[in-house]
Amino acid sequence: MDWHTGLAGLAAGLLIAVVTAPVGVSGAVFLLPVQLSVFAVPNPSVTPTNLLFNVVAGPGALLRYRRHGTLRGPLVRRLVLGTLPGVVVGAAIRVFALPGPTVFRLLVAALLLPLGLWLCARTLWPVRHKAASEPSPRTITGLALAVGVIGGIYGIGGGSLLGPVLVGRGMPVARVAPAALASTFATSLVGAATYALLSLTRSANIAPDWFLGLSCGAGGLIGGYLGARLQPHLPETLLRLILGSLAAAVGLLYAVQA
């Protein structure tokens, strides 16, 4: 790839991370269709490339949240310990059981479309009833394990799924966002390493696209820091609505293509 592609990847990672980091999402969930459609990253190499993006981009937002002291607490540990084994299982499933592009697009649509519609619905029509009780530690760990498997298949680290679910169960965004990003970073690191090892035993192209992953990640590193810095100044309702609309639109696009 040439430097034009590198600059385009840098810009894409930066813009996406600025919008998604304030709500605890790395941006990989929206970068994946860009890699497939714009940069033509081969399948299944796109998944470890997305994980590489998370590894490089994650420290930007995490550094900012750490300065605010929001990376401490049991929630971070539960999410990380739950998603780490799940992402290894998900990577193996992705390589050995889901290599076809049609199946992959259907999986993307099944994940993003309902998630986006759910986010939009909760933003536009908030349910007014007794506040939901926070999930138990065992429930959080089990949920993190399941999301880790999905994240390993999809290449998103899992934080973009954990965040909305936990917030919907009554946890504040300010508490969930740093923990979800920490989980995404840790699982992406393990997931990218797993794909690199699996690439040694498979003839298919399952190693990450290092140049594009690093370029997008550098943009995400800057954008994530800026997004986390802007979090206290941006209306949460608007950010949730934008994220939900993007997720639903991308999910619908891949459903039609599949």
Tens-digit pLDDT profile for residues 182-237: 888 888 888 888 877 877 776 566 677 888 989 999 999 999 999 888 877 877 78
* Mean pLDDT to the nearest integer, 118-126: 81
Residue 82 clears pLDDT 80, i.e. is over it: yes
Residue 164 clears pLDDT 70, i.e. is over it: yes
C-alpha–C-alpha distance, residues 121 and 44, integer Å: 32
C-alpha–C-alpha distance, residues 54 and 185, integer Å: 6
Tokens of 16: 């996406």
Could you tell me if 244 and 36 are in contact, meaning their C-beta atoms sit under 8 angstroms apart?
no
Q: What is the pLDDT of residue 37?
A: 79
* Mean pLDDT to the nearest integer, 155-170: 72
The DSSP line for 37-61 is HTS-PPTTTHHHHHHHHHHHHHHHH
Q: What is the pLDDT of residue 11?
A: 93
C-alpha–C-alpha distance, residues 234 and 212, integer Å: 30
Q: What pTM value is reported for the model?
A: 0.78
Residue positions counted in the chain: 258
The DSSP line for 52-116 is HHHHHHHHHHHHHHHHTTTT-SHHHHHHHHHHHHHHHHHHHHHHHT---HHHHHHHHHHHHHHHH
Of 94-103, 123-132, 155-164, highest mean pLDDT: 155-164
Summary mean pLDDT of the chain: 81
User: How crowded is the C-beta side of 87, counted as CA atoms within 13 Å?
Assistant: 30
Q: What is the pLDDT of residue 249?
A: 82
Rg (CA), the chain: 17
Could you tell me if 176 and 24 are in contact, meaning their C-beta atoms sit under 8 angstroms apart?
yes
User: Helices 46-67 and 3-20 meet at what angle, rounded to 10?
Assistant: 50
